[in-house]
Amino acid sequence: MRIGIDVGGTNTDAVLMDGTTVVSSTKTPTTANVSEGIATALRDVIADSGINAATIDGVMIGTTHFTNAVVERKHLTPTACIRLGLPATVCLPPMVDWPLDLRDLVGGNAHLAHGGHEFDGREISAFEPDEIREIAEKIKAAGLKAIAISSVFSPVNATFEEQSAEIVRSVIPDANITLSSEIGRIGLLERENAAIMNSCLRQLAARTVDGFKAALDELRITSPFYISQNDGTLMNADFAKEYPVLTFASGPTNSMRGAAFLSGLKDAIVVDVGGTTTDIGVLQHGFPRVAALAVEIGGVRTNFRMPDTYSIGLGGGSLIDPHPKSLPHREGGTSLTLDSPSLLVGEGAGGWGEVKVGPRSVGYELTEKALVFGGDVLTATDVIVASASADIGDRDAVSDLDAGLVTAVEARIMEMIAIAVDRMKTSATPVPVIVVGGGSILVTGEIEGASEIIKPDHFPVANAIGAAIAQVGGECDRIFSLAELSRDEALDQAKQEASDRAVNAGAAAASVDIVDVEEVPLAYLPGNATRIMVKAVGDLVGA
Amino acid sequence: MRLLDEENIDDIAVGAAILGSGGGSNPYIGKLMAREAIRRYGPVELYALGELADDDLIVPSAGMGAPVVAVEKLPAGDDIVRAFQALGKYTGRAPRATMSVESGGMNSIRPIYLAARLGIPVVDCDGMGRAFPEIQMTVLTAYGISASPFAMSDERGNMLLIDAVSNRWVETFARSCVTRMGAIGAIALYSATVKQLKAAAIHGTTTLAEKIGRTVREARLKEKNPVDAIRLAVDGFLVFRGKISDVDRRVSEGFAKGGARMTGSGAFAGQALQLDFQNEHLVLCVDGDYVATTPDLIAVLDSETGAPITTEALRYGMRVAVIAFPCAPQWREPAALALVCPRYFGYDIDYVPVEERFAS
């Protein structure tokens, strides 16, 4: 049996799964000490099912802890950066575009050295071991042990980064070194940023992962545990201590993977309705489609393969505004209440055609502020209860709502979702839409362009399920020159590299599958250079 | 004369992306370079052509090569200084200032970096008023200004000087050499006197890019839709609002070619738009009728944020607004049109200025 846990900003969700069956699930508030929240969730989910802790084969944890550390500027270790690429890259040194407060915190200790490669694998300049040794001595003198090493086009050829790491270790034996080629893609500043953030998060990662281990020990769970990565695959505890940045944005990914699992579909649109926002993503071959653009974490640009999600301000706590045109723009805080007579029966003569839903929301205060929970704010949830599509809280509290308003709100919600879904589709062909998340009750009708709408069981904890069922993966992202290789040879080579990496990360070789291949020929160049990105995934050994 | 500071650079970068007309490279790297240089060396002087002496020598500066490589092998900075100074040496005269060859994408900003480094002014003009993919595609070519002598340098210090019989030959030689340099080269070309440029160059394009960028920024601050603000700022026409329903893309001879189809919404409901591109947007048809063609500018904008969408980023389902606006008048002379008109790109139609199409 497996346990999946998703530590979100508000709730920590846990599920216990026996093969493909959800045995029990729980939602508890996230605590300041993440391990305590996890221990509570684990205790609940195990007690709920009455199983013996010894029968648990694996615990999979998705966490936003490391993202939050960067966003909140907490627990970051000062880190030096060595970049190989001289004489290129001089005018934009490492951390050049970081927010100043974060750069100060991390130390801004940056060094440029010779080395680096061209897009076609030639050297920009020769590697100079003595130069690296001198830099290492300076870093040692500054008392730093956390170090990131980047080299131009290291996704094409990583040898200079590896050789530099060896030299740095000979000077600083207990150095904590991240190579940019281990974690990022083409785009030097973004990849280097990720490598620096990784090194500055490693101390926190070691403490946090040890805390998870202690929580498991306390409950006598002796199985291995894993942490979710942003691409929907897992890393083991030791790997997570080494590569904490790979957890960034794992939440939306887990939710989409959970939706795929619960529905049995591999190609679909996922609509995740929360309390304040609805995130729409696309499943391709069972994995989230990734965003093409750079993503900022705490003000720092990175080029992680984040899920391509589109968010709209619609959720269970969204405020309803029946006459947005007749009321001037209201500043945040004020909202319509039951005292506003226009919401009651008979006031809808002018029609509800302009009714507005969201983006303002009562958020996590839904269970205090919504009408059906005894509050005085009209929310999307109240309207859905009034329409008899859902039965939550006190239905009598909304029995006086105008039927025309209820119909108009339901129609507006479905229209908002339909437009967002269409935006994320890749063609006009109808596709299945999977609806998950705590706010799923908002979806009451048909969605234009959807071949079917699926609301699977256990939809509120899809994210924890996504963590529980995750596989392990490997990637290859390189520029190949098709002057020396045929296109097929280049593709085969890229697929082999990705598969090898998946196996190294813990996948059973026989189960490894290529799930994504992308080719981008380089524009404005007459040659035949093409960038190939391949992703492979497989089942965990022994799972 | 006025001074360009950090905030001006941010605005120019946003405007440059819109003037890129679907092409040009991402201005991000150029923006960072200029910002860092201004922080270190101070603001840059921006001169109008009329504020300079007629016999002052101006040497435009730019980068050429593959944008994908530019985000990985970041520039040295010295390369563009070297190319610029080499050209001065070759012509035997000290340049008074630099300017942009192209006012779309990164090349709108790179001269500002150079100017900050050398403490020289930037001239508020350029040779395209937008982005085009090849060196000879400038109004300067049509006015008889030679791209030769042409200097190209890499980060190692290699310097290539080309003195060719035509601007097209400069493009041919430079394009094959830039690959060997690692797919990115810093270039200086089209040296000319202020007197020549007064007649030939497109005036005020740095200020135009900045005005567009400021318009977008202010519209967002006031939570207004930036699309209308942009249309007014460029004196353009709203051609279409709708959704991308299909994108077809292929690469041949180093160019990203293809087309996108869109279906209209709101006032444009029931209409179908076809957009063809080759690195930059080339022609627009609504319901089978041409409504705008190169060299007039075509900007595809996100319908909510006003953010320009490049040809590489066009994707099914995007909600877009399409704006067309007049190119600089120099492009409408026969010698200039021959370089970039629809027929040059293989369309069997005459160029009709976009404002005439919309007048009827």
Q: What domains can you pick out in chain B, each with its CATH number?
A: 2-205 (3.40.1610.10), 227-359 (no CATH)
- What's the complex ipTM? 0.89
Using DSSP bridges, classify how beta strands B237-252 and B319-325 pair: parallel, antiparallel or unpaired: antiparallel
pLDDT at A348: 41
At A324, the pLDDT band (50, 70, 90 cuts) reads low
User: Is residue B197 a contact partner of residue B177, using CB atoms and an 8 Å limit?
Assistant: no
Q: Is residue A25 part of a domain?
A: no
Q: How confident is the model at residue A326 (pLDDT cuts 50, 70, 90)?
A: very low
A374 shares a domain with A504:
no
Compare CB distances from B313 to A292, A479, A522 and report the shortest one's residue.
A292
Can you read off the two tokens belonging to residue B220?
């967002």
Determine how many CB atoms are found less than 10 A away from the CB of residue B17. Answer: 29
Q: Verify whether the Cβ–Cβ distance B254 to A524 is below 8 Å.
A: yes
Which strands sit side by side in the sheet containing B272-278, from one edge to the other? B289-293, B280-286, B272-278, B255-264, B237-252, B319-325, B297-302
Check residue B208 and give its pLDDT.
95
Residues in chain B where the model's pLDDT stays below 70: 251-256, 360
In a domain, A502, yes or no: yes
In a domain, A16, yes or no: no
Q: Between A526 and B19, where is the model more confident?
A: B19
Q: Where are the beta strands (DSSP E) in A199-294?
A: 225-228, 234-236, 268-273, 278-284, 287-288
For residue A526, list chain B residues with Cβ-Cβ distance below 8 A: 175-176, 179, 253-254
Please state the φ and ψ torsions of residue B35, each to the nearest 5 degrees.
-60, -45
| Model confidence at A334: pLDDT above 60 | no
Same domain? For A369 and A493 the reply is no
Which of A87, A119, A531 is nearest residue B156 as measured by Cβ atoms?
Answer: A87
Structure tokens at A125: 């300049």
CB within 8 Å: A521 and B251: yes
Chain B partners within 8 Å of A119 (Cβ) = 66, 68-69, 72-73, 182-183
Number of domains in chain A: 3
- Decide which of A455, A483, A500 is a domain's last residue: A455
Regarding whether A504 and A365 lie in a shared domain, the answer is no
Task: Tell me if A464 is assigned to some domain.
Answer: no
Query: What tokens appear for A451 in the block?
Result: 């071949």
Give me the mean pLDDT over the A9-22 stretch. 85
Distance from CA of A419 to the nearest CA of B (A): 9
Same domain, A167 and A93: yes
Q: Which chain B residue's Cα is nearest to A418? A: B317
Nearest C-alpha in B relative to A90: B76
Mutate which of A525, A528, A531, A532 to disrupt the B interface (most B C-beta within 10 Å)?
A525
Q: What is the CATH number of the domain that holds A142?
A: 3.40.50
Q: Are residues A333 and A420 in the same domain?
A: yes
Q: How far apart are CA A29 and CA A40, in angstroms?
A: 9
| A37 part of a folded domain | no
Question: Does B253 sit within 8 Å of A152, measured CB to CB?
Answer: no
Q: Mind telling me how many Å the CA of B155 is from chain A's nearest CA?
A: 5
Average pLDDT over residues A23-29: 86
| CB contact residues (below 8 A), chain A span 114-143, against chain B | 116, 118-120, 122, 124-125
The one-letter amino acid at A132: I
Q: How far is A187 from chain B (nearest CA, A)?
A: 5
**Is B264 in contact with B242 (CB distance < 8 Å)?**
yes
In this predicted structure, the answer to whether residue A476 has a pLDDT above a threshold of 90 is no
Cα of A57 to nearest chain B Cα, Å:
43
Q: Which helix (H) or strand (E) is A102 found in, with range?
A: helix A100-106
- β-strand pairing of B159-162 with B122-123: unpaired
Higher pLDDT, A369 or A290: A369
Spatial separation of the C-alpha atoms in residues B311 and B260, rounded to whole Å: 9
Residues A301, A399, single domain; the answer is yes
Question: How far is A440 from chain B, CA to nearest CA, in Å?
Answer: 23
Residues sharing a CB contact under 8 Å with residue A18, sequence separation 6 or more, in sequence order: A1
Query: What's at A378, amino acid-wise?
Result: L
In this structure, are A273 and A368 located in the same domain?
A: yes
CA closest to A116 among chain B residues: B73
Are residues A444 and A324 located together in one domain of the fold? yes
A340 has pLDDT over 60: no
The pLDDT value recorded for residue B254 is: 60
CA B355, B358, B359: angle at the middle one, nearest 5? 85
Residues A337 and A440 in one domain: yes
- Cα A410 to Cα B358: distance, rounded to the nearest angstrom: 41
Q: Least CA distance to B223: which residue of chain A?
A: A329
CA A140 to chain B, closest CA, distance in angstroms equals 28
Residue with tokens 């290539």: B160
Q: How far apart are CA A248 and CA A233, in angstroms?
A: 12
Amino acid symbol at A40? T
- Asked if A306 and A290 count as a contact pair (C-beta separation under 8 A), the reply is yes
Distances, alpha carbon A66 to alpha carbons A6, A202, A401, B291, in Å: 14, 10, 45, 51
The helix-helix angle for B110-118 and B28-41 (nearest 10°) equals 20
Q: Does one domain contain both A284 and A357?
A: yes
Contacts of B255 in chain A (CB under 8 A): 523-524
Best CA proximity match to A408, nearest among A355, A371, A445, A444: A355
CB-CB contact of B163 with B191 (8 Å)? no
pLDDT of residue B171: 95
Mean pLDDT of the A67-71 span = 83
B73–A89 C-beta distance less than 8 A: yes
Phi, psi (deg, nearest 5) at residue A151:
-145, 140
Q: What is the pLDDT of residues B173-187, one digit of tens each?
A: 999 899 889 889 999
Q: Which of A91, A180, A310, A427 to mutate to test the interface with B (most CBs of B within 10 A)?
A: A91
CA–CA distance, A354 with A326 (Å, rounded to integer): 10
The listed range with the strongest mean pLDDT (A106-120, A500-514, B149-163, B232-246) is: B149-163
Where in the sequence is the domain holding A127, given as residue range(s)?
79-201
The pLDDT value given to residue A424? 82
Contact B317 A187 (CB under 8 A): no
Mean pLDDT of chain A: 85
Q: Which residues in chain A have their CB less than 8 angstroms from residue B113's CB?
A: 91
B352 or A1, which is more confident: B352
Single out the residue in A455, A488, A522 at which a domain terminates.
A455
- Residue A197 and residue A86 in one domain: yes
H/E run at residue A12: strand A11-18
Q: Residues in chain A, how many?
A: 543
**pLDDT band at A346; cut points 50, 70, 90:** very low
Per-residue pLDDT, B260? 92
Among B29, B72, B317, the residue with its CB nearest the CB of A423 is B317
- Kindly state whether residues A302 and A416 are assigned to the same domain: yes
Helices (H), chain B: 6-19, 28-41, 67-70, 78-91, 110-118, 139-142, 167-180, 194-200, 205-221, 226-233, 334-340, 354-359
Region of A211 on the Ramachandran plot (φ > 0 left; ψ -120 to 50 alpha; else beta): alpha
Say which of B37, B71, B155 has its CB closest to residue A88: B155
Question: Is pLDDT above 70 for A336?
Answer: no
Is A5 within the bounds of a domain? Answer: no
A483 has a chain B CB within 8 A of its CB: no
End-to-end CA distance of chain A: 9
Question: Chains A and B: how many Cβ contacts under 8 Å?
Answer: 130
Is A141 within the bounds of a domain?
yes
Closest CB to B74: pick one of A188, A292, A522: A188
Cross-chain residue pair B66–A525, CB shorter than 8 Å? yes
With CB atoms and an 8 Å threshold, state whether B316 touches A425. Answer: yes
Give the three-state DSSP class for B39.
Answer: helix
DSSP track, B101-170: S--SGGGGTHHHHHHHHHT--EESEESSSS--SSTT-SHHHHTT----SEEEE-TT--EEEE--SSHHHH
The answer to whether residue A485 sits within a structural domain is: yes
| Length in residues, chain B | 360
- What are the CA-CA distances from residue A519 to residues A157, A257, A529, B5, B68 (Å)? 19, 24, 10, 40, 13
Element (H, E) at A190: helix A188-218
Residue A396 has φ and ψ, to the nearest 5°, of -60, -30
Residues of B at the A interface, defined by Cβ within 8 angstroms: 29, 32-33, 36-37, 64-69, 71-78, 113, 133, 155-157, 175-176, 179, 182-183, 243, 245-246, 251, 253-256, 279, 312-313, 315-319
pLDDT confidence of residue B62: 96
Query: Which one is predicted more confidently, A64 or B86?
Result: B86
CB contact under 8 A, B315 and A426: yes
Domain termination residue (choose one: A160, A182, A201)? A201
